[in-house]
Amino acid sequence: MIYSPSRRRLLRGALATAAVGATTSLALAQGSGKVLRLGYIGPGKKPAAATGWALQQGQLLRELAPLGFTEIATRNFPNGPDLNEAFLSGVLDVGIYGDTPAVVARSKGLDGQLIGFDAVGMNVWLLTPRGGVRSVKELEGQTIGVARGSYMHRYVLGLLKENGLQGSVKVIHMFPRDGEAALDQGSIAAFAAQIDVGPLLASRGYPVIDEAAKHPTLLGSSVIVASKKILAASPDLPAAWTRARRAALSDTHKDSDRYYAFHSEVSGFPLAAVKASHPLSQFPAEAYPAQGLALLEEVKKFLLAERLVTQDFALAQWRVANA
């Protein structure tokens, strides 16, 4: 996730242009309250998980209303690096995305702070073409597709290291939407798919030769990061966010079928794939669950060891204390 000045300018320009349309409602709401700009990763028209359900059920806006917010405007991004660019461009207040791009951004000086976790222990599925390789060891000299800068990317690099395949496997950038076509055409030997996509491709007959679930330190998390500007203006936002998530999680556990139906509808993935990807146990009620913090330390340690980042930092200094 290293950007050239020219790419940064292009992305900032594109995001600034997109922001005009995405925040039209903000202009309409001026004078009557504040709009919180929330970014998230995925193809869905709305965020899911605990925050998404809190937004859908109204808990999130009810908790934020006393802070002066009258609207929550959401924007989705294809991956973490693009969401980081939105933060850099100042068009987001809060972002929910994978731990790996979030840690990379923090290490590189992104102006934002951790206010919680939305999911902890996310799996990755390593799939191959039908009739392709049958084990990780057989990937030597082959090509793996994965979204660079994502938690799936960290899983792939960690898996190759565990199997002594560093330098002997080509890892190329590939968006999740392109994974199935590449597998079907046999242009890659394997594809590392994230939640929802992995179970869906497996159900279509693509063999799974490995999963992050077999390597606990390579599991992913979804973190909630807020800009320092919004935190300075609304210091009680982290605690309000946690209360809204807890209320939503209580509803989810009481009626999981209703929640999963919502998640399937907004994400566009079949119900079976959603249930296989998002066990309710992955949605923590507390802001900073022990497993989530441990995974963040593993992410940081891995990125530093691989020299994908060079600046270490203390998690205690990144997270806010009043969440």
pLDDT at site 32: 54
pLDDT at site 23: 37
CB atoms closer than 10 angstroms to residue 47: 28
Helix (H, G, I), strand (E, B) or coil at 237: helix
Closest CA to 64 of 225, 237, 322, 228: 237
pLDDT at site 323: 86
Alpha-carbon distance of 133 to 137, in angstroms, equals 9
Alpha-carbon distance of 265 to 48, in angstroms, equals 10
**Fold match between 5-122+220-318 and 125-218?**
yes
| Fold of the domain built from segment(s) 125-218 | D-Maltodextrin-Binding Protein; domain 2 (3.40.190)
Alpha-carbon distance of 237 to 139, in angstroms, equals 46
pLDDT at site 322: 86
Cβ pair 101, 154 in contact under 8 A: no
Model's pTM, two decimal places? Answer: 0.86
pLDDT digits 0-9 by tens, 203-226: 999 999 999 999 999 999 999 999
Helices 5-22 and 80-89 sit at what angle, rounded to 10 degrees?
A: 80
Q: Please report, for the chain, the start and end positions of each structural domain, with discontinuous segments joined by +.
A: 5-122+220-318, 125-218
Local confidence pLDDT in tens for the 323 residues of the chain: 333 444 444 334 433 333 333 333 333 333 357 999 999 997 778 999 999 999 999 999 999 999 999 999 999 998 898 999 999 899 999 999 999 999 999 998 888 999 999 999 999 999 999 999 999 999 999 999 999 889 999 999 999 999 999 999 999 999 999 999 999 999 999 999 999 999 999 999 999 999 999 999 999 999 999 999 999 999 999 999 999 999 999 999 999 999 999 999 999 999 999 999 999 999 999 999 999 999 999 999 989 988 889 899 999 999 999 88
pLDDT at site 19: 39
Q: Please tell me what DSSP assigns to residue 211.
A: E
Cβ pair 91, 19 in contact under 8 A: yes
pLDDT digits 0-9 by tens, 248-295: 999 999 999 999 999 999 999 999 999 999 999 999 999 999 999 999
Alpha-carbon distance of 154 to 218, in angstroms, equals 7
User: CATH classification of 5-122+220-318, choosing from 3.40.50.720, 3.90.76.10, 3.40.50.170, 3.40.190.10?
Assistant: 3.40.190.10
Cβ pair 126, 199 in contact under 8 A: no
Distance between terminal CA atoms of the chain?
29
pLDDT at site 31: 39
